[in-house]
């Protein structure tokens, strides 16, 4: 099967004055095309750094990173990155925000509007095209960010704790809708979270990272059909398994 | 509204009282200023220039200086905001310069410049620094998340500046333009001290100060104040239109 992401012995060190901080050490994993993978790990374990490396924003200090067989480069590849923080342009409307990626990716200007409207509809925001970000809720802002990422037809979707700031109900709704979109569009998703239940609900495979310097502690295949019932015994047993691995790492902090 | 009106009335009563009991024969009361205002507006000054003519000429000069101040302040501010090392390098030059008042520049501008450039330069002194400093502040406040977001979509540095940094700094830049236009307008008297031409509101004030006709001097002062107020209001109106996306953040 074709590999969407391949990391081989990746390390990342930051030089802070005279000392150096090793965030990631000897990290190796791969993600298949069209796969949904969640990465869980204790906070401060370099999850965000990992995402920056995979999206080509930062090079690793050592090791090899390949995204569809080439070193990641957002100027030549199409990445849909969804951040934890609000990343909408406050001076643009919902429609203008969804167009943003299309403008940068060199789509024909005559197509922007039509494509943007299609994806606004896909995330259920039709009717809100002309609203500014400050006029809509946190959950709606996330939908706009997702529509903006999907509109460029990305090869890879990278999500950095995108639903962490949402209330519980909105979060579970967004999770279900994300799975809907994923099953419709057939995309590779790398989803970072510290919420174990979220990982079991979403992912085909869950990678548990160790505390800093991070590497993969355990890979768990979630062999449950979608949609998953959060209260079913197998769901709970997966959750417990991951929580156990997760808590072993938390204790050391 | 009622309070505003009563404070204006009280102001004029005070003025009238001071004029009445002042030992100086040169202090005019509001009524003689009003008369002088009508005369200058309709008949013109000793050289035949009307008040409107003075105001238009002054506005023209200030707008020219403002245009040059904007055209230099925004790009230099963007550059210094983006390159902190460059900003650090030029700070020891810029910081003391901005505390030198326009009047102090008069002799140098007479030595260095001719004609219209003297006006432009003195007004530029007033416009440039507020525009520069607010532009730098705006650039610095640009969200790192937005820049990273644009990078993940493949934006190069040029696109980051035009599509993220500039629009995100625009509210601060507009604030700088508003303050800069105000300060530039305040420099008009200093600027017109050195121009030989007999027109302009600053010139009007200086001309009648020499004649000891203080009523006309006050007409010039009030006109400068009112036009400054109008300019400020115009830009505020423009800001409100441009930054509807920000309205609720401010409230």
Q: What's B211's domain CATH number?
A: 1.10.3720.10
Best of A78, A82, A87 to disrupt the B interface (most B CBs within 10 Å) is A87
Nearest CA in chain B to A77: B154
Domain membership of residue B221 (yes or no) is: yes
What residues of B are in contact with residue A87 (Cβ under 8 Å)?
145-146, 148-149
Which of B154, B168, B249 lies nearest to residue A74, judging by beta carbons? B154
The residue in chain B having the minimum alpha-carbon distance to the alpha carbon of residue A55 is B152
Considering CB atoms only, which of B149, B152, B245 is closest to A91? B245
Name the CA dihedral angle for B77, B78, B82, B84, rounded to a multiple of 10 degrees: -10
The structural domains of chain A, with segments of one domain joined by +, span 1-67+170-253, 78-154
Rounded to two decimals, the ipTM of the complex is: 0.89
Q: CA-to-CA distance for A42 and B92, rounded, in angstroms?
A: 46
DSSP letter at A129 equals T
> In sequence order, what are the residues at sequence separation of 6 or more whose Cβ sits closer than 8 angstroms to the Cβ of residue B14?
none
Structure tokens at B155: 């934006």
Q: Write the CB contacts of B173 (distance below 8 Å, at least 6 apart in sequence).
A: B74, B77, B131, B134, B135, B138
Q: Which residues of A touch B152 (CB under 8 A)?
A: 55, 57, 74, 79, 81, 158
Q: Nearest Cα to A203, choosing from A174, A179, A236, A177?
A: A179
- B-chain residue closest to A155, CA distance: B153
Domain presence at residue B172: yes
Q: What is the pLDDT of residue B248?
A: 54
Q: What residue numbers bound the domain in which B76 lies?
A: 53-241
Contact flag A104-B148 (C-beta cutoff 8 Å): no
Quick one: how many helices (H) and strands (E) in chain A? 7, 9
Q: Which residue of B has its CA nearest to A151?
A: B153
Whether residue B168 and residue A92 make contact (CB cut-off 8 A), yes or no, is no
Q: Do A133 and B245 touch (CB under 8 A)?
A: yes
Q: Residue A1's pLDDT is what?
A: 65
Average pLDDT over residues B36-49: 91
Alpha helices in A44-108 (DSSP H): 47-54, 94-104
Instruction: List beta partners, residue A11.
Output: A62
Contact B199, B192 (CB under 8 A): no
Q: Are A152 and A105 in contact (CB under 8 A)?
A: yes
**Partner residue facing A105 (CB), from B154, B243, B246:** B154
The distance from CA A76 to its chain's CA centroid, rounded to whole angstroms, is: 20
Give A114→chain B minimum CA distance, Å: 19
- The two most distant CA atoms of chain B are separated, in Å, by 75
Whether B139 is covered by a domain: the verdict is: yes
Instruction: Report the number of distinct structural domains present in chain B.
Output: 1
- The answer to whether A87 contacts B167, with C-beta atoms less than 8 Å apart, is no
Please report whether residue B5 resides in a domain.
no
Q: Which two tokens stand for residue B217?
A: 């001097």
**DSSP per position, B143-160:** -HHHHHHHHHTT--HHHH
Residue A24: other Cβ atoms inside 10 A: 24
- Residue B105 corresponds to which tokens in the numbers above? 């520049």
Asked if the A1-67+170-253 domain carries CATH number 3.40.980.10, the reply is no
On whether residue B211 sits in a domain, the answer given is: yes
Q: For residue A132, which residues of chain B lie inside 8 Å, CB to CB?
A: 244-245
pLDDT average, residue stretch B215-227:
94
Mutate to test the interface with A, among B154, B157, B246 (most CBs of A within 10 A): B154
Q: Residue B210 above 60 pLDDT? A: yes
Which residues are within 8 A (CB) of B150 and not within 5 positions of it... i.e. 6 or more apart? A100, A104, B159, B160, B163, B164
Mean pLDDT of B3-29: 90
In this complex, which of B153, B243, B248 lies closest to A101 when CB atoms are compared?
B153
| 8 A C-beta contact, residue A31 and residue A51 | no
Average pLDDT over residues B145-155: 93
Angle among Cα B213, B215, B220 to the nearest 5 degrees reads: 105
The answer to whether the bond into A180 is cis (omega within 30° of 0) is: no
Facing A132 at nearest CB: one of B145, B148, B245: B245
Residue B205 lies in a domain: yes
* Whole-number pLDDT of residue B251: 41
Tokens 């959060």 map to which residue? A230
Which structure tokens are listed for B183?
Answer: 């300060």
Sign, CA torsion A81/A86/A92/A94: positive
Do residue B159 and residue A104 have CB atoms under 8 angstroms apart?
yes
Question: Is residue B117 included in any domain, yes or no?
Answer: yes
Test mutation, A48, A72, A79, A90, chain B, max B CBs within 10 A: A90
Q: Which residues of A touch B163 (CB under 8 A)?
A: 100, 103-104
State the helix-helix crossing angle for B214-242 and B166-186, rounded to 10 degrees.
170
Mind listing the pLDDT tens digit for each residue in B52-99? 999 999 999 999 999 999 999 999 999 999 999 999 999 999 999 989
Which chain A residues touch B144 with a CB distance below 8 Å? none
Return the higher-pLDDT residue of A251 and B37.
Answer: B37
Which residue in chain B is spatially nearest to A75 when comparing CA positions? B154
CB–CB of A134 and B249 under 8 A?
A: yes
The shortest CB-CB distance from B153 to any of A85, A105, A133 is to A105
Residue in this structure with the two tokens 């417990």, named with its chain if needed? A240
Q: Identify whether the C-beta of residue A44 lies closer than 8 Å to the C-beta of residue A209.
A: no
Cβ-Cβ pairs closer than 8 A, A with B, add up to 63
Separation between Cα atoms, residue A74 and residue A154, nearest integer Å: 10
Q: Which tokens hold the place of A206?
A: 């869950």
In chain A, what's the furthest Cα-to-Cα distance?
Answer: 55
Contact assignment for A89 to B146 by CB distance below 8 Å: yes
Residue B17 falls within a domain, yes or no?
A: no
φ, ψ of residue A204 to 5 degrees: the values are: -85, -35
Mean pLDDT for the stretch of residues B170-199: 89
B244:A132 CB<8 A: yes
Q: Any idea what DSSP says for residue A225?
A: P
Q: Do A90 and B152 touch (CB under 8 A)?
A: no
The residues of B whose Cβ lies within 8 A of any Cβ of A are 145-146, 148-156, 159, 163-164, 167-168, 170, 243-246, 248-249
Model pLDDT, residue B250: 47
pLDDT tens for the 253 residues of chain A, in order:
678 999 999 999 988 888 888 889 999 999 999 999 999 988 777 888 898 999 999 999 999 999 999 999 999 999 999 998 889 999 999 999 999 999 998 888 888 999 999 999 988 899 999 999 999 998 899 999 999 999 999 999 999 999 988 888 989 998 998 999 898 888 999 999 989 999 999 999 999 998 888 888 899 999 999 889 999 999 999 999 999 988 888 776 5
């Amino acid at each position: 099967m074709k590999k969407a992401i391949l990391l081989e012995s990746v390390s990342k060190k930051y030089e802070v004055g005279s000392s150096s901080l090793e965030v990631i050490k000897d990290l190796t994993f791969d993600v298949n095309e069209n796969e949904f993978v969640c990465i869980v790990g204790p906070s401060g374990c370099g999850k965000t750094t990992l995402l920056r490396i995979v999206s080509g924003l930062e090079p690793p200090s050592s090791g090899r990173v390949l995204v569809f067989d080439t070193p990641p480069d957002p100027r030549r590849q199409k990445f849909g990155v969804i951040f934890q923080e609000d990343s909408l342009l406050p001076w643009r409307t919902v429609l203008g925000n969804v167009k943003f990626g299309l403008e940068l990716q060199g789509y024909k200007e005559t197509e922007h509007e039509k494509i943007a409207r299609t994806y606004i509809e896909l995330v259920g925001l039709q009717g809100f095209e002309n609203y500014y970000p400050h006029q809509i809720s946190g959950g709606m802002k996330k939908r706009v960010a997702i529509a903006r990422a999907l509109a460029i037809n990305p090869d890879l979707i990278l999500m950095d704790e995108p639903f962490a700031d949402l209330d519980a109900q909105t979060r579970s709704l967004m999770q279900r809708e994300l799975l809907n979109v994923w099953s419709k569009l057939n995309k590779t998703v790398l989803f970072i979270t510290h919420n174990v239940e979220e990982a079991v609900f979403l992912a085909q495979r869950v990678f548990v990272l160790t505390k800093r310097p991070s590497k993969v502690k355990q890979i768990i295949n979630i062999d449950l059909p979608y949609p998953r019932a959060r209260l079913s015994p197998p769901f709970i047993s997966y959750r417990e398994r991951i929580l156990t691995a997760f808590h072993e790492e938390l204790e050391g902090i | 509204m009622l309070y505003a009106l009563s404070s204006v009335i009280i102001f004029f009563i005070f003025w009238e009282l001071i004029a009445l009991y002042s030992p100086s024969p040169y202090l005019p009361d509001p009524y003689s200023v009003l008369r002088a205002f009508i005369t200058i507006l309709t008949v013109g000054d000793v050289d035949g220039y009307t008040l409107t003519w003075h105001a238009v000429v002054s506005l023209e000069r200030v707008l020219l200086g403002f245009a040059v101040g904007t055209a230099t302040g925004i790009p230099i501010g963007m550059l210094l905001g983006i390159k902190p090392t460059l900003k650090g390098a030029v700070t020891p030059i810029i910081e003391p310069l901005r505390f030198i008042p326009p009047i102090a520049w008069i002799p140098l501008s007479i030595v260095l410049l001719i004609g219209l450039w003297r006006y432009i330069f003195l007004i530029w002194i007033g416009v440039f620094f507020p525009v520069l400093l607010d532009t730098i502040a705006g650039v610095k406040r640009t969200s790192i998340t937005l820049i990273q977001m644009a990078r993940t979509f493949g934006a190069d540095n040029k696109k980051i500046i035009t599509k993220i940094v500039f629009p995100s700094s625009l509210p601060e830049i507009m604030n700088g333009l508003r303050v800069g236009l105000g300060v530039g307008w305040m420099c008009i008297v200093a600027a017109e001290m050195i121009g030989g031409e007999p027109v302009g509101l600053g010139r009007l004030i200086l001309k009648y100060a020499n004649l000891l006709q203080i009523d006309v001097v006050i007409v010039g002062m009030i006109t400068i104040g009112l036009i400054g107020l109008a300019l400020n209001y115009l830009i505020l109106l423009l800001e409100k239109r441009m930054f509807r996306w920000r309205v609720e953040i401010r409230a």
